[in-house]
Amino acid sequence: MKQLFAVLILCALPAAALAQSKSPRLASVTPESGKPAAEYTAAGENLDKDAIKELYLTNGKDDIKVSIVTQKADAIQFKVPGSVKPGRYALMVLTADGKQFIEQPVKLTIE
């Protein structure tokens, strides 16, 4: 019985790893600070339209949708609305299926 359980777990691991690898992940934003109404580029992996529907700035209280200018598998170029107040914001993605918001460990400072 223990051997069967071990085999089932080993078979499930590749599927779990594959599912995790498809998740969008932002690694950086360039520039790291700037003004409202400016364009920025977020780099990472699994960032194409099949993975991400929308991109947001969040400060834990307010979620601000940004305009995606271009979107590729390894980068998203986006424009911050002119009305965004100064502060430090995390980037957050809405998955392509529209079911999950994922806050990323990437920060953008609006001056």
| 3-class secondary-structure state, position 75 | strand
Bridging pattern class, strands 67-71 and 25-30: unpaired
Residue 3 in domain:
no
- Dump pLDDT digits (tens) for 19-39: 445 899 999 999 999 999 999
CA atoms of 61 and 108, how far apart (whole Å)? 15
Residue 4 in domain:
no
Residue 1 in domain:
no
Which domain does 72 fall in, by range? 24-110
pLDDT of residue 7: 43
Residue 16 in domain:
no
Bridging pattern class, strands 101-110 and 33-34: parallel
Phi, psi of 2 (to 5 degrees): -65, -35
Residue 48 in domain:
yes
Residue 13 in domain:
no
| pTM of the entire predicted model | 0.81
